[in-house]
């Protein structure tokens, strides 16, 4: 009965278009897993935390310079700044460089990563600056981590960093694997 679905023992049978039977399967091209995107951590000021983030989440630590894709450094940039007034100001200045086209050609600005400069909530004026930055680009927040302050990077990053870990590929989408790459 062509054109009518029939009820089978496990439920309705599905329609099949085209010849059915001993038709050999079509060859399928092998699927290659997409490699995770490589990132360069770029500090917008001294002490921003780019080296720590590169050690914890993997990626290229560009320091305060721009990565050089022509020398096999990642073209995808994550700007890093502390959440104090100077850090937020330099993050905005670096973002403006990209907006004006003054960053080196071939670089992609993916996000800004704001690292807490102290434990606790931000004072209102700083929180307002963060809102301005968030209105312009994706922002990932990293809370205060006392162990990182003394150089102990061995523990798991705080759960507030899960979305940053997924972005950088240092954890699977299910959140099952943390680690340094």
pLDDT tens, position by position, 37-63: 789 999 999 999 999 999 999 999 999
Average pLDDT (8-27) is: 50
Sign of CA dihedral 164, 165, 169, 174: negative
**pLDDT score at 29:** 47
Spatial distance between the Cα atoms of 142 and 137, rounded to a whole number of angstroms:
16
Buried b (16+ CB within 10 A) or exposed e, 138-160: ebbbbeebeebeeeeeeeebeee
**pLDDT score at 170:** 81
Token readout for 135 is 């209105």
Better pLDDT: 93 or 36: 93
Average pLDDT (122-146) is: 96
Q: Considering the chain, what is the average pLDDT of its residues?
A: 83
The pLDDT of residue 156 is above 90? no
Spatial distance between the Cα atoms of 91 and 79, rounded to a whole number of angstroms:
7
**pLDDT score at 46:** 96
Spatial distance between the Cα atoms of 105 and 75, rounded to a whole number of angstroms:
9
The pLDDT of residue 78 is above 70? yes
Token readout for 137 is 């680009």
The pLDDT of residue 109 is above 90? yes
């Amino acid at each position: 009965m062509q054109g009518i679905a029939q009820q089978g023992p496990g439920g309705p049978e599905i329609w099949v278009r085209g010849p059915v039977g001993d038709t050999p399967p079509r060859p399928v091209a092998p699927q290659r897993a997409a490699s995770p995107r490589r990132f360069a951590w770029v500090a917008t000021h001294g002490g921003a935390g780019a080296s720590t983030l590169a050690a914890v989440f993997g990626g290229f630590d560009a320091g305060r310079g721009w990565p050089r894709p022509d020398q096999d450094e990642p073209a995808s940039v994550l700007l890093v700044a502390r959440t104090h007034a100077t850090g937020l100001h330099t993050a905005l200045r670096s973002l403006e460089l990209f907006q004006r086209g003054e960053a080196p050609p071939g670089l992609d600005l993916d996000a800004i990563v704001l690292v807490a400069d102290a434990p606790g909530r931000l004072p209102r004026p700083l929180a307002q600056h963060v809102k301005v930055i968030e209105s312009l680009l994706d922002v990932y927040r990293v809370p205060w981590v006392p162990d990182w302050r003394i150089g102990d990077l061995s523990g798991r990053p705080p759960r507030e960093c899960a979305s940053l870990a997924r972005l950088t590929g240092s954890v699977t989408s299910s959140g099952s694997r943390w680690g340094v790459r």
